[in-house]
A and B are shown apart, each in its own frame.
Chain A
Amino acid sequence: MRNILVILIVTLLIACTEKEPGGQGPVTAQNKPMVVTSNCPLYFFSSEIAGDLVDVRFPSIEGDPAMWVPGGDEAIMLQSADLLILNGAGYESWLSFTTLSGENIVDTTANVQSMLLPIENTTVHQHGPQGKHSHQGTAFTTWLDPELAIEQSRSILQAVTQLKPDQAELFKTNFDQLEKRLRQLDQSLAQSFAKLAAQPVVFSHPVYQYLQHRYQINGRSLHWEPGIEPGTRDWIELGKLLQAHPAKLMVWEETPLDSTRGRLTEMGVQSVVFNPAANPGKPTDYFEMMNKNTDQITAPK
């Protein structure tokens, strides 16, 4: 009886210490090159192209990534990334005050400068003897134009291919599929916006420049936030705008307050949401988001 007990214990010990077949555990994120992206669409494009071969990350940012201020931990992540995939076009305003190594930065709009749109009507100010200046720049929600999104994805393809040249073929295949889906989205968006014909539209925020440009939308922009009740001055401004630009549709980044929506309806303006999806709060499928946006676009009654 005692011998049987000893044999049983020894057998159990051997079983516990035995290695897994093959002797290798699962591939961890530590073995993969780290790629950090500056917004959700770039995160999605990078993940689609690189698949599981690269550890694609998007920092946990609350709110608009364009207004992000990296903290100490995020600075370490940005500095230690093998690739830092940026939107460019002035989107990453945090670049002007963040210390990074230039070697690993990929500006995905660097090759499409001629397709970028300038922001107009910025305020000029002056203090001291340095002279007048303004903080103007370039419209940066480039990923809303599928044609630009394809070019940005092409930059990502080149960067990840340089990072892992042995996987070039796989990356190219993934990119081709992504390009195909973006072209389909382009057609779908074109059909949706065609329903508007040349009807005037109001955008709640000036972030739809590329959408407006690509699909010839007759739109004008305000500076309204979906979660903030517009003030008297804002309503007066809208009234004046509607006199010159009789829009019946207002496009919001997110669902506006019920009170705002109600008052707009009274004014004969229908509210729809077209989320630019820069940071929907959690990693989201870009196409899912865009299809949801497309479904919202209907000709105002």
Chain B
Amino acid sequence: MKVQGEQTLPLPRRAAWDLLLDIDVLARAMPGCESLVPAGADEYDMKMNLAIASMQGLFAGKLRIEDKNPPASYRLVIDGNGRLGFVRGVGQLTLSETPSGTTVHYAGEVQIGGLIASVGERLLDMTAKMMIRRFFAALEREAAGSSPAAAR
């Protein structure tokens, strides 16, 4: 399943870049993320507790940041497994300066499989879109919190 879109953060590009690579921020912003622990260069062990509809399940896996090109782009790779199935995602994030801040363009591919996909095919597209919306809504809140520092 392909996902793409863009979201504007009210921050200069450098500050937006720092925010998007701040692992504590990512851990707070990713829906259901319970922990993100360093496991090598730009690689992290991730635990997620996802709840969608009346389903709920733990996922454990890796998050990797690749092809860093500050402050313009990087690739985010997520790979997780759990009792409900598996989730794999690759997304290219591109940051560009705009009058109102920084526009983050994302384009990628998400694969969801296993039990969750076999009974909930209908739910996958809406779930992926909702998680991306929640992620960016949380990032916006983080950006609002960090903007005094950015203006300094």
Partners in one complex: no
Question: Chain A interface (Cβ within 8 Å of chain B)?
Answer: none
